[in-house]
Amino acid sequence: MEHQTETQKKVKTSEFPDPFEQARIERGYGDIDDQNDPVTMLLRLKDVRKTAHNWKTFISGATPGRIVVPSEVAIRDIRQIPFEVDPPEHKDYRNLVEPWFKRPLEEEYTAKMTKIIEELVDEVIAKDDIEVVSDFSLKLQSRCLTLLLNIPYEEAETWIGWGVHVFRSEESSTDADKANILFDYLDEQIDRAAENPSDDLYSLLLSSEVNGKKMTKEEVKGVMILTFAGGRDTVINAVTNSLAYFAEHPKSLERLRQEPEIVGKAVEELVRYFSPLTHMGRVVTEDTKVCEHAIKNDSRVSMCWASANRDSAAFENPNEVVLDRKINPHVAFGFSHHNCLGATHARQILKVLINTLANKVGSIEIKNYKENIEEWGEFNRKVGFDNITMNIKGK
Ligand code: EMZ
């Protein structure tokens, strides 16, 4: 084995460095440009939490697409629901969809998910080298999404064909042609469900009322876009990154096999460490100040979950994965009333995945990879892998 001194220590493939540390400690924020609509990124856990709570000064219900960074204003004009709606209306939508998005806790749902994931793990064990992002994580995300929508399993094939992100491509971080594929698809699906109602999410939404009024097709589309877009690259990265982590920490996988009761804590810790969604924006409704920094009315801020999750004011050894971390107030799923609607589904995916890997996998070897580095002004943040080839062997 190659000898490495402390200073030469190689960064592991599964390590996710924190690019925000210095700015977080010294200033608490970072200014970035995004398509000529600048964003002040808030880096401290305390400020991120305060901002998430304060929906009057920091709104979500701005021009559709503007709270997302990179902004999606140029590629969509449909409002995502409940994501781009503020209180009090937000609550009506949220109350409507919340029970549906808690279904992943049901036994039957978990059983189906376990079958999907076990099959996929068996499949990759049987093969030699596989490219994990496209041959594993994308398939897993798409197949599990059929459960969340409650539609036939075969439909996943269509979504697998769309690739990792529904709004981004290799050519562009906001790709209008790509977005239109999703929008046209949803129009078709909504029309289908309107004509032939079933027990899927489209039909439920179409038959629902909010504030005494039937949901319009436009509103249904707003919920569906969120369901497709919000949990796609995020889940794919979380799954891929978890595999990379276990490839380099086989003892952790063995520990999870022997102590399955800590799997819930392990999921929270991996999600904290990876922070699959770097940040989420808000639009400011009055001149204000954060960290002694003036922020102008109608400008944008973002709550940087990835930075907040490494804030040493809240986390001991923030750059280490502590599988059974006792106190873990992370904000990887956001914070306050807009916290992630799909979190129950995402957590269940990671739990089932970890249990399945622990029971079936003997070793994982990383062959080669290309990191996915997001560039936010002065910050370069690794969020996952564009591709990563592994050899996964069974027990
Ligand atoms: C939006 C966002 C939601 C956005 C929780 O995040 O996810 C992004 O991936 C999408 O591009 O439109 O849905």
Cα(292) to centroid(ligand 1), Å? 29
For residue 76, the ligand 1 atom closest to its alpha carbon is: 12
Query: Which residue type does 316 have?
Result: E
Q: What is the 3-state secondary structure (H, E, C) of 32-96?
A: ECCCCCCEEEECCHHHHHHHHHCCCCEECCCCCCCCCCCCCCCCCCCCCCCCCCCCCHHHHHHHH
- Condensed to tens digits (0 to 9), the pLDDT of residues 144-174 reads 999 999 999 999 999 999 988 888 877 788 8
**Cα maximum dimension of the chain:** 69
Per the prediction, the chain carries an average pLDDT of: 95
Q: How far apart are CA 39 and CA 284, in angstroms?
A: 11
Distance, CA of 221 to CA of 97 (rounded, Å): 13
Q: Report the predicted TM-score, pTM, of the whole model to 2 decimal places.
A: 0.96
List Cα–Cα distances, 327 to 81, 246, 282, 302, 303, in angstroms: 32, 22, 28, 25, 21
Judged against a pLDDT cut of 90, whether residue 102 lies above it is answered with yes
d(CA 276, CA 262): 21
Mean pLDDT of 358-372: 98
Q: Quick one: pLDDT at residue 1?
A: 39
Ligand 1 mean position, distance from CA 226 (Å)? 6
| Vertex 93 angle, CA 344 and 153, to 5° | 45
Helices then strands, counting H and E runs in the chain, come out as 15, 12
Tell me the pLDDT tens digit for each residue of 251-304.
999 999 999 999 999 999 999 999 999 999 999 999 999 999 999 999 999 999
Q: What is the pLDDT of residue 56?
A: 98
370: closest CA among 272, 240, 249, 234?
Answer: 240
Of 74-78, 317-321, 329-333, where does mean pLDDT reach its minimum? 74-78
Closest residue to atom 8 of ligand 1, CA basis: 230
The atom number, within ligand 1, closest to the CA of 226 reads 13
Element (H, E) at 369: strand 361-376
Residue 25 pLDDT greater than 80, yes or no: yes
* Ligand 1 midpoint to CA 117 (Å): 24
Q: What is the pLDDT of residue 2?
A: 42
pLDDT digits (tens, 9 = 90+) for 46-65: 999 999 999 999 999 999 99
68 alpha carbon – ligand 1 mean position (Å): 7
Region 203-230: mean pLDDT is 96
Residues with CB under 6 A from ligand 1: 68, 72, 80, 83, 167, 226, 229-230, 233, 277
Q: Which atom of ligand 1 has the smallest separation from the CA of 167?
A: 11
Tell me whether residue 392 is exposed, middle or buried, using C-beta atoms within 10 angstroms of its C-beta: 0 to 12, 13 to 18, 19 or more.
Answer: buried
CA-wise closest residue to 305 among 28, 49, 19: 49
Whose tokens are 């009090």? That residue is 88
pLDDT beyond 50 at 232: yes
Residue 210: name the closest of 313, 74, 115, 94 by CA: 94
Q: What is the mean pLDDT of residues 89-104?
A: 98
Distance between CA atoms of 194 and 206, rounded to whole angstroms? 7
Res 8: pLDDT: 53
Residue showing tokens 């376990």: 114
- Two structure tokens written together for 22: 């210095």
Give the rounded percent of residues in the chain with a pLDDT score beyond 70.
Answer: 98
The pLDDT of residue 3 = 47
What CA–CA distance (Å, rounded) separates 139 from 163? 10
Residue 167's pLDDT is 85
pLDDT at 9: 61
- Provide the residue type at 17 as one letter: P
Under a CB-based contact definition with an 8 Å cutoff, are residues 310 and 17 in contact?
Answer: no
Average pLDDT, integer, range 79-99 = 98
pLDDT of the residue at 283:
98
Tell me the residue type at 70. P
* Residue 316 buriedness (CB in 10 A; 0-12 / 13-18 / 19+): exposed
Quick check: 10 pLDDT over 90? no
Can you give the pLDDT at residue 173? Answer: 80
